């Protein structure tokens, strides 16, 4: 399940405390008129992941959150399967340069 995966991520982050990550939230393209809603939804998705990781013992300040709305699709939004793939959260390890 996604919770098991997030628990594994938390374990890795706790084992390597110097790592800073960006939690990214993404949505599918719902409607061009709902871009603001999609951005908020993706931001909320990222924050929910961060909140879960904090509850698992990862320090809040080690995680930056960013919502991308539908700007970075990984699949075709014209199909149900594609839209489901685009509704996701990703965790990216930041380099030292990106942390400054």
Q: What's the start-to-end Cα distance of the chain, in Å?
A: 34
pLDDT band for 33, please (50, 70, 90 cuts). confident
pLDDT band for 99, please (50, 70, 90 cuts). low
CA distances in angstroms from 75 to 26, 45, 84, listed in the order given: 12, 18, 9
Kind of pairing, strands 88-93 and 21-26?
antiparallel
Looking at every residue in the chain, the average pLDDT score rounds to 92
3-class DSSP state of 94: coil
pTM of the model: 0.89
């Amino acid at each position: 399940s996604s919770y098991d995966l997030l628990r594994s991520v938390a374990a890795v982050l706790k084992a390597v405390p110097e790592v800073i990550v960006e939690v990214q939230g993404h949505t599918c393209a719902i409607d061009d008129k709902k871009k603001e809603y999609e951005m908020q939804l993706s931001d909320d998705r990222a924050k929910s992941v961060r909140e879960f990781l904090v509850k698992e013992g990862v320090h809040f300040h080690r995680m930056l959150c960013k919502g991308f709305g539908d700007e970075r699709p990984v699949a075709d939004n014209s199909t149900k399967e594609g839209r489901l793939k685009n509704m996701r959260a990703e965790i990216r390890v930041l380099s030292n340069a990106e942390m400054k």
